[in-house]
Structure 1
Amino acid sequence: MPAWETLKKHQNELIRKQLEGSVFIAPLTSAAISALTGADKALLALPAGYNDLGWMSDDGAQFSSDVSTSDVTSWGAVEPTRRDITSDVTTLELALQETNKHTIGLYTGVDMTAVVPDPTSGEVAVSKPDRPPLRFWRVLTIGVDLGDAGEIYVARFLPRASVSDKAGQSFNNGDDPTSWPVTLTGYLDSALGYSERYYFGGPGWEALLTEMGF
């Protein structure tokens, strides 16, 4: 029998954190993300139309999965004899801290392409729609970690996502800035054939491929 120290394989260099990151949105007319890095392992430029939503709270990008199942129970069995997944929905919760054209548009549901500042005063007026249309976006979240060989990128791409909820907004002079808290839900993009895709890359990632079992 091997000793425990021989049997176990714990590798602390494979523990990941996202030290910083950004969330980018683009209209559905923009190209989907097909690759995150190039042959030199550096990040590729994003397709036209992708915009960084900017600073967000230190909670970062909060992903959640809501999985529903249907169980079959059988005579004499004390546990389900069959289980089918009937729903697996990904949501992304963001507390956006920057006030800009994109964060205002996400929170209010307004098409900001038609909103222009007053030519004299620079004032911007946005009217909440009586029945906001369900608008869809391409959403790319990139997290950055550091390994011994350089940066490690972990990204999640939602090719078709919409704002499904938003939290309250506070006007005050406390420690927290005025934010634009929204929750985005990912849906299947029928042309691409998926509702979410993960990407992993960077020089630090490539250096650890063998250790990770690839």
Structure 2
Amino acid sequence: MPAWETLKRHQNHLIRKALEGSTFVAPTTSSAIAALTGSDSSLNALPAGYSDVGWMSDDGAQFSSDVDKSDISSWGSVEPTRRDIASDVTTLQVSLQETNKRTIGLYIGADMTAVVPDPSSGEVVVDKPDRPPLRFWRVLTIGVDLADAGEIYIARFLPRASVTDKDDQNYQNGDDEALGWPVTLTAYMDSTLGYSERFYFGGPGWEALLGAMGF
């Protein structure tokens, strides 16, 4: 029998962490993300319409999955004899720290296309819609890690996402509290693309570890 040290295969250089990252938002009329990196493993330019929402709180981008199951029980069995996934919904929670046209619009749920500053004072006025419609966006979040061979990019793309919740906004003079725009986006199926979420893994550091990761 092999000794445990021979049998096990623990590779600490495969433990990943998102040291930094960004979330990009675009109208659903913008092109989807076909590939995150090019032939040289460097990042591709994003399609037209994608804009970085800017700094986020140090909680980063928090993805959650809400999975509902449907179980069938059978006579004589102490556990379900059949289990089906009834729903699997992905949400993305971000606490946006920058105040700009995009973050204001996401939080308030207003159409910002016609919002312009007052020509004399520069003041901007935004009305909260009485019954905000579901506005859909393409949302790309990229996390960046470092390895010996260079950067590693791990990204999640939601081709059709909508703001479905928002947290409290605090007006205060706290040492570690910015006036933020915390929102939760829910992913939906894009009927044209055929998926509600896509994962991307790339970068020069990723390419150098393909064999170690089993690819």
**Aligned-pair distance for 1:27?**
0.2
Superposed structure 1 runs of 4+ greater than 2 Å apart: none
Tell me the residue number matched to 1:142. 142
Q: Match of 2:50, as an amino acid?
A: Y
Deviations 1:5-62 (A, max 9, x none): 0000000000000000000000000000010000011000000000000000000000
1:1-214 counterparts in 2 under 5 A?
1-175=1-175, 176-214=177-215
Distance 2:195 2:136 in 1: 15
Deviations 1:124-183 (A, max 9, x none): 000001001110000000000000000000000000000000001000111201000000
Distance 2:79 2:14 in 1: 35
Please give the TM-score of this superposition, normalised by the length of structure 1: 1.00
Distance 1:188 1:6 in 2: 45
Distance 2:213 2:84 in 1: 30
Give secondary structure in 2 for the equivalent of 1:69: strand
Q: Match of 1:60, as an amino acid?
A: G
Distance 1:142 1:119 in 2: 37
Distance 1:158 1:129 in 2: 25
Distance 1:42 1:89 in 2: 31
Give secondary structure in 2 for the equivalent of 1:113: coil
Please give the TM-score of this superposition, normalised by the length of structure 2: 0.99
Distance 1:174 1:13 in 2: 39
Q: Match of 2:186, as an amino acid?
A: T
Give secondary structure in 2 for the equivalent of 1:5: helix
Aligned-residue CA RMSD (Å): 0.4
Distance 1:14 1:133 in 2: 43
Q: Match of 1:182, as an amino acid?
A: V
Give secondary structure in 2 for the equivalent of 1:114: coil
Percent of residue pairs bearing the same amino acid type: 78
Give secondary structure in 2 for the equivalent of 1:55: coil
